Copies of this chain bind each other. A is one copy, B any other.
């Protein structure tokens, strides 16, 4: 038990304990440059005995390199962002870079704050969800001088690089599939989230394609808060109550879609004969429902992987694509007639 419990060990402590210069200890610990095997072993041994943990703060300041990638996402309780994160972590694992995540709760001001905090640690790159940011946030990203990848969405102009899907297109495609299957009395049910730009874009693409087919949305219903499954149920009940002619329900996410599905099945309604349903995201979680919900894969993991690849490449001064659009596949499941 030493006298000072607070101060942690430094390179100097290891240097003194091993009788080797700080510089050589540093070399061993980073295995950089040539060090004789004898000294290397000695240093490693004493470092372990002492329980030395290098101070990255000092290292980063001296070397002017921080192997951190800031990842800024709206939420963790959504299942979609953890999957993006998984993709990022997985591909960064092959590099010396490490992700550090910040959460914005879909609030622009919080995003700005989180971004500022993260940039103040001088990360090697930024991966940030969405293309909509405050002006100040854009300015910071622009001024940071580090690679920036905006993810999830490609309907807009990126600060630097972007990888994602076109949500407008996703909405259009689903509308076309629904029309093609013969449905005409279509309802849209989603979150009351003016700041979820991707959901908004899907909705816009959806109504646009319906319009092109001469169909107008028959009902709209929005919710906020609460359990998504329960809300899906309630919203479905409300919509059908208001308009019993509805023959299709397009949900802005799979979770509320699942709620709607369970409700319809309980009511003994013929799905997808009498009423069809579709969600969005392709969450694996929901495999195991009585019927497989029609949905569209948001390419979450691929987006994460690709974004991480771009950062890794740019950190090594390699060139990369500036725009990477992935194309989500529609899956019909058991709730959308095949044609």
Residues in chain A within 8 A of chain B (CB atoms): 5-8, 51, 53-58, 60-61, 66, 76-77, 79, 82-83, 85-86, 89, 98, 100-101, 103, 116-117, 119-122, 139-140, 143-145, 226-233, 255, 259, 262, 266, 284-290
Contacts and interface: CB of A to CB of B under 8 A. Distances in A.
A140 B54 CA distance: 12
A262 B288 contact: yes
A85 B89 contact: no
B66 A77 contact: no
Contact of A230 (B57, B101, B119, B288): B288
A54 to B, nearest CB: 5
Contacts of A83: 77
Given A101-B101, A288-B259, A66 B57 contact: yes
Number of copies: 2
Contact of A229 (B76, B140, B288): B288
Give the top 8 A-B pairs by smallest Cβ distance, nearest first: A229-B288, A230-B288, A227-B287, A76-B82, A56-B120, A230-B287, A51-B143, A259-B288
Contacts of A76: 76, 82, 85-86
B121 A57 contact: yes
